[in-house]
Amino acid sequence: MNSLLSITDIKDDVKDILDLASKIKAGEMEEKPLEGKTLAMIFEKSSTRTRVSFDVGMYQLGGRAIFLSSNDLQMGRGEPISDTAKVLSRFVDGIMIRAIRHSDVVELAKHSDVPVISGLTDLEHPCQALADMLTIKEHLGDWKGKKICFAGDGNNVCNSLLLIAPLLGMDISVACPKGYEPSEDILKTAREYADENNTQIVVSDDIGVALENVDVVYTDVWVSMGDEAEKAKREIDLAPFQVNMDLMSFANDGAIFMHCLPAVRGQEVSADVIDGPKSVVFDQAENRLHAQKAILYHYMKD
């Protein structure tokens, strides 16, 4: 079944989906193309942007969404993921899941007869990356020849950005302390994409190196859901990678600041940056809706 579990699943469709998102945002698409369609939304992790944007997106496309927490499903009481996938496939036209483990989403998609869309796992966040690229094009005019730097923990958001940036002609650097590097498997694939598209990837614990010629500075929370036991250590290790005004001064003129939210002001980003004129974080948040409407159309339209 054709599903979106990773940016690798849309390697050849990224530009088409982003073009579709732009058209949807501009009101240039047919009204209610998913009329009569139903999306099941499974949440193992709490959410603001993912839940609301998918729910509203389905409504605006003419369909409906059903919210299902792990407490609402027998899966939370031990029912095999394969059984859940087979049952839901008899009822709905698509499944969006925000999960703890990427392997569980892969298992769900393996046994599903309808498309499965990852709303986040411990490995990737493809929907966020698509919204980010839509935002970058709106503010910088194009992707090609631009450079994005992700500063902090090489997490799921970082992994998806590493994959999508070279597909769109962007260079990408990751500034992180040793021990916080992105997935080696993701990096291997991203570097293959970079070679194919003549772009550059740099991973460094020297933030000055990573910030060279940067048009986008991006960060995320230091303590993600599931990392709470490491909170004190993470705050010490990641402190030198806080995005503040001094750090932003090393970026190119006209550079923008991005964050997938929620943010902790005073930790990964200073308040004067995230609330300042270079910040586009709320445009990013809005674009989750438009990007996800394009994803829903791409996967669920007959």
Name residue, tokens 């047919």.
30
- Does the annotation count 98 as an active-site position? yes
What letter does residue 179 receive in the DSSP assignment? T
Instruction: Identify any residues that bridge with 219 across adjacent strands, giving them in sequence order.
Output: 151, 259
Q: DSSP 3-state assignment of 203?
A: strand
Of 128, 242, 284, 292, the catalytic one is 128
Of 55, 171, 220, 237, the catalytic one is 220
Of 288, 290, 292, 298, the catalytic one is 288
- Does the annotation count 260 as an active-site position? yes
- Does the annotation count 220 as an active-site position? yes
Structure tokens at 158: 């970082």
DSSP of 99-156, one letter per residue?
A: -S-HHHHHHHHHH-SS-EEEEE-SS--HHHHHHHHHHHHHHHS-STT-EEEEES---H
Structure tokens at 222: 């230091």
d(CA 133, CA 129): 6
- Does the annotation count 128 as an active-site position? yes
d(CA 36, CA 238): 47
Of 49, 125, 259, 290, the catalytic one is 125
Of 98, 111, 259, 298, the catalytic one is 98
Name residue, tokens 């694939």.
189
Query: ω before 262 within 30° of 0 (cis)?
Result: yes
Answer yes or no: are the C-beta atoms of 288 and 260 closer than 8 Å: no
Query: Nearest to residue 263, comparing CAs of 233, 216, 217, 220?
Result: 220
Structure tokens at 57: 């997106």
- Does the annotation count 125 as an active-site position? yes
- Does the annotation count 259 as an active-site position? no
Of 260, 290, 292, 298, the catalytic one is 260
d(CA 58, CA 191): 35
Answer yes or no: are the C-beta atoms of 26 and 295 closer than 8 Å: no
Alpha helices in 26-125 (DSSP H): 49-60, 81-91, 102-111
Answer yes or no: are the C-beta atoms of 172 and 158 closer than 8 Å: no
Hey, which residues are catalytic here?
A: 98, 125, 128, 220, 260, 288
